[in-house]
């Protein structure tokens, strides 16, 4: 069962990044629960591991095109692979920072890691039914995935 | 003014410490504080100490979550080396406990990520006003 406050904290951490850094707010699509298997990941994914009162993963996964436009909006002209990894890691870092502020010591949150490239996957805890929140920005769509048990 | 402060009109030296290349470049690009000159940047606490010894900066922007040595420990080490260095912590860790810990180790200001250009410049100006 998901706690609205927990989901709200993760979503707010994500949308805040768009609003402040990319200077254009993102909108939230209709969230859904994945009942079988793991949600697909996009080109670049920033992952935080959570332990403590809840255990699992929260990740932000975005297509390359979205991240390139974000970098450009941030006046960064170098849109190389490393900088795209950096950006998705920073977004995950912001989600993590927000969670630490709101949840305190109830949650132990790891520094973010980045998964990028074809045929990559993010393994969720077994038995976990992840909650997916579409994050829409300009013409692009990313996903925030909360997989906690 | 501190005993070893640069003479009036001489730029103060700024060092940027962050494991994110885009953040380092962003701070370098958008900091627009008169009399502040970037002398170098480092991606972790260990490299930051080496660069600090080599460039003797007056002002440092410091991330917290970094590999090898985190920003809290790095702040403590830099203040041991140069007690009057001004350190602005720039971190996504938005909890009060982290800010308090950084201040206790010797940081002088705290800016949350993500930040706008204006927020960065305001934070640096506020930092320099303490000199």
Strands (DSSP E) contained in chain A are: 27-28, 32-33, 44-52, 56-62, 107-109, 113-116, 131-137, 140-148
Contact B113/A at CB under 8 A: yes
Q: Which of A17, A76, A104 sits opposite B25 (nearest CB)?
A: A76
Contact B18, B90 (CB under 8 A): yes
Token pair 């996957």: residue: A121
Least confident residue range of A9-23, A114-128, B36-50, B66-80: A114-128
Is residue B53 scored above 80 in pLDDT? yes
Contact residues on chain A for B115, CB-CB shorter than 8 A: 20-21
CA separation for the pair B71, B75 (Å, rounded): 6
Q: Which residues contact A104 (CB under 8 A, 6 or more apart)?
A: B95
Domains of chain B: 12-128 (3.40.50.2300)
Contact A101/B at CB under 8 A: yes
B116 confidence band (pLDDT: 50, 70, 90): very high
Is residue B49 scored above 80 in pLDDT? yes
What count of CB pairs under 8 Å joins A to B?
60
Domains of chain A: 4-148 (3.40.1550.10)
Residue B74 is predicted with a pLDDT of 96
CA separation for the pair A100, B101 (Å, rounded): 15
Cross-chain residue pair A76–B114, CB shorter than 8 Å:
no
| Mean pLDDT computed over B91-118 | 90
Contact B72/A at CB under 8 A: no
ipTM confidence score: 0.87
Residue A98 is predicted with a pLDDT of 87
Contact A46/B at CB under 8 A: no
Q: What percent of chain A has pLDDT over 90?
A: 62
Contact A96/B at CB under 8 A: yes
Q: Which residues contact B49 (CB under 8 A, 6 or more apart)?
A: B69, B74, B77, B78, B81
Cross-chain residue pair B113–A90, CB shorter than 8 Å:
yes
| Mean pLDDT computed over A45-59 | 90
Q: Which of B22, B112, B114 sits opposite A83 (nearest CB)?
A: B22
A63 confidence band (pLDDT: 50, 70, 90): very high
Residue A100 is predicted with a pLDDT of 84
Is residue B1 scored above 50 in pLDDT? no
Cross-chain residue pair B92–A74, CB shorter than 8 Å:
no
Q: Which of A20, A71, A82 sits opposite B114 (nearest CB)?
A: A20
Closest chain B C-alpha to A4 CA, distance in angstroms: 20
CA separation for the pair A134, A42 (Å, rounded): 12
Is residue A74 scored above 80 in pLDDT? yes
CA separation for the pair A135, B98 (Å, rounded): 29
């Amino acid at each position: 069962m998901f706690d609205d406050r927990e989901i709200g904290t993760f979503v707010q951490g994500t949308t805040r990044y768009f609003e402040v850094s990319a200077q254009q707010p993102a909108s939230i699509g209709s969230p859904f629960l994945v009942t079988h298997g793991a949600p697909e990941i996009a080109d670049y994914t920033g992952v935080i591991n959570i332990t403590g009162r809840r255990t699992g993963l929260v990740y932000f996964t975005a297509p390359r095109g979205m991240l390139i436009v974000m970098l450009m909006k941030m006046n960064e002209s170098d849109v190389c692979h490393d900088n795209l990894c950096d950006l998705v890691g920073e977004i995950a870092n912001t989600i993590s920072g927000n969670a630490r502020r709101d949840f305190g010591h109830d949650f132990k949150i790891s520094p973010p890691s980045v998964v990028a490239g074809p045929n990559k996957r993010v393994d969720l805890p077994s038995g976990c039914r992840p909650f997916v929140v579409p994050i829409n920005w300009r013409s692009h769509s990313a996903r925030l995935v909360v997989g906690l048990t | 003014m501190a005993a070893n402060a640069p003479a009036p009109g001489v730029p103060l030296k700024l060092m940027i410490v962050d494991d994110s290349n885009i953040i380092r470049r962003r701070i370098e690009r958008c900091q627009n504080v008169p009399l502040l000159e970037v002398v170098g940047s480092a991606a972790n606490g260990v490299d930051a100490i080496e660069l600090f010894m080599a460039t003797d900066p007056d002002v440092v922007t410091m991330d917290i979550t970094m590999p090898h040595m985190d920003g809290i420990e790095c702040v403590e080490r830099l203040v041991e080396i140069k007690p009057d260095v001004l350190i602005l912590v720039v971190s996504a860790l938005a909890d009060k406990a982290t800010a308090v810990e950084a201040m206790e180790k010797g940081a002088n200001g705290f800016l949350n990520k993500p930040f706008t250009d204006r927020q960065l410049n305001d934070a640096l100006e506020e930092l320099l006003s303490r000199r």
